[in-house]
Structure 1
Amino acid sequence: MRYLFDPPEFFAVPVKGEAATYPIRRIFCVGRNYAAHAAEMGGEVDREAPWYFTKSVAHAALSGAELPYPAGTSNYHHEMELAFAIGAEVFEASEAEAAAAIFAYGCALDMTRRDRQQDGKDHRRPWSLGKDVEGSAVLAEMTRATEFGALADQAIALKVNGEVRQEGQLSEMVWSPVEIVMHLSKFYHLGPGDIVMTGTPSGVGPVVEGDAICGTIEGLSPVELALMVTKS
């Protein structure tokens, strides 16, 4: 087949200890999955069911990237998250099927144009301009779920220029990865290539040009992002 222009290459994430990478087709994000973060944003968690927004794969970046401060915002925020990758096809998954479908875990950054997100909230419009931003889904090397083990009280944290901004534990999540897969698979046929970002603990805040961001989760490879300084 001939194309009018060259199609983009698949975006893929490294997997610890493996030569093959994990190609991504979709990115789902869970909203307000930590009660303290929901409170700092002036909201509450929905304890009846998780809810979601999406990011374009074209807007993903690998850990270690150096990216420009995005256009159209003066309030760009960091959000440190646990991400997980799906490794098997599941639809309307049972608890056992959901657990078996989780292939790997990794550190991730959900970078957010907070002012544009607030515009959406204020006018009851989608969050796309705030959340689906070029370079806003930053993904680190992933670790197979069998190697990472069970989710418990692993520490999750983020530093900007070496200063701690976010601290929490994975046990603070309202909805676990297994529960997320069980619920999300009621609406989508999930399968290999699907990434889910599971929400952020409290302490989100702004970053500026020149900032170096490093997010960590105990037992996983860190995620790093540098914001370029614009030359005048």
Structure 2
Amino acid sequence: MSYAIPAPVVPSLPIIGSDQRFPVRRIFCIGRNYAEHAREMGATVDKDTPLFFCKPADAVVTDGADVPYPQATADLHHEVEMVVALSAGGRDIPADQALARVWGYGVGLDLTRRDLQAVAKAKSHPWDVAKAFDHSAPVSALRPASEARLDGDTALTLIINGEQRQHGRLGDMVHGVAEIIAILSTLFELKAGDLIFTGTPAGVSALKRGDQFHAELAGVATLEGRVA
């Protein structure tokens, strides 16, 4: 097949302990999946109607690259999250079969132009410009699921300039990984290469140019970088 213009590069993530890379197809995100974060944002959790949104695959930032401070905002916020990478997908996946679709795990930042999000919320507009902008999804190298030891006490932490900003446990999630995959598959056909950001604990706040960040999913993955 020939294309009229050069084909776009497929975004990808490094894999811990391997020279291979994980190709990224789509990025799905769940909002308000930690009750304390929902409260700090003045929202409530509706367990029966999870809130989902998407980011473009080429929003990933990885391999230690700087994160450019985005245009059109004066209030860039960090949201540290566990990231799930899928090796297979489908529609209407039963929750008890969902984890078999997981290839691996990492840690990432759901960067948010909070001022633009506030305007969108006030007008009942979509959040795309607040969430789906360029370089809005820094993600660590992935650890294969077979090597990841996760439970409800696994810690999710973000340190900015040496100071802890966010800290939570995976057991604090309103919807667990299997449930998120099952619900998403009723809305989209999931496929290999999809990433899922699984929500953020309380403590979100602003990032400034020059800030150094260290995100960690304990015992699984770390992400370090700088806001340029």
Q: TM-score, normalised by structure 2?
A: 0.96
Quote how far apart the aligned CAs of 1:62 are: 0.7
- Say if 1:30 and 1:51, in contact at 8 Å, map to a contact too: yes
Which residue of structure 2 aligns with residue 202 of structure 1? 202
TM-aligned CA deviation for residue 78 of structure 1: 0.6
1:31-62 deviation per Cα after TM superposition (whole angstroms, max 9, x unaligned)? 10000000000001111132200001122111
The equivalent residue for 1:98 is: 98
After superposition, the C-alpha distances for 1:123-163 in whole angstroms (9 at most, x for unaligned) are 10010111011111111011111211343211111011111
Aligned residue for 2:174? 174
1:50, 1:16 → 2: CA distance? 31
Contact 2:14 2:63 (8 Å CA) reproduced? no
Partner residue in 2 for 1:45: 45
AA matched with 1:106: G
Q: Which residue of 2 aligns with 1:217?
A: 217
In structure 2, the residue matched to 1:114 is 114
CA-CA distance at 1:67 after TM superposition: 2.6
| C-alpha contact 1:90 1:101 (8 A) present in aligned 2 | no
2:54 counterpart residue number: 54
Aligned to 1:26: 26
- How many Å apart are 1:217 and its aligned residue? 1.2
Q: Which residue of 2 aligns with 1:15?
A: 15
Say which is worse superposed, 142-151 or 106-115, in terms of deviation.
142-151
* Further displaced range: 147-156 or 106-115: 147-156
- In the alignment, the residues of structure 1 paired with residue 8 and residue 100 of structure 2 have an alpha-carbon distance, to the nearest angstrom, of 31
Specify the code of the residue in structure 2 equivalent to 1:32: R
**Residues 63, 223 of structure 1: 8 Å contact kept:** no
Residue ranges of structure 2 left out of the alignment (5+ in a row) = none
Q: How many residues align?
A: 228
Partner of 1:81: 81
Deviation at 1:83, TM superposition (A): 0.5
Q: Which runs of 5 or more residues in structure 1 are unaligned?
A: none
Task: Give the counterpart letter for 2:110 in structure 1.
Answer: D
Q: Which amino acid aligns with 2:35?
A: A
Give the TM-score of the pair, scaled to structure 1.
0.94
Q: Distance in 1 between matches of 2:50 and 2:174?
A: 9
Letter in 2 for 1:131: K
Shift of 1:8: 1.6
Show the counterpart of 1:35: 35
Provide the rounded CA distance (Å) in 2 between the counterparts of 1:168 and 1:63: 25
SS in structure 2 of the partner of residue 105 of structure 1: strand
Identity, % of aligned pairs?
38
Q: Distance in 2 between matches of 1:91 and 1:97?
A: 12
Question: Residue type matched to 2:43 in 1?
Answer: G
Amino acid aligned to 2:39: A
Partner of 2:151: 151
1:73 deviates by 0.5
Matched, 1:134 2:145: no
Amino acid at match of 1:182: A
CA distance in 2, matches of 1:150, 1:167: 16
Distance in structure 1 (CA, Å) of the matches to 2:133 and 2:17: 30
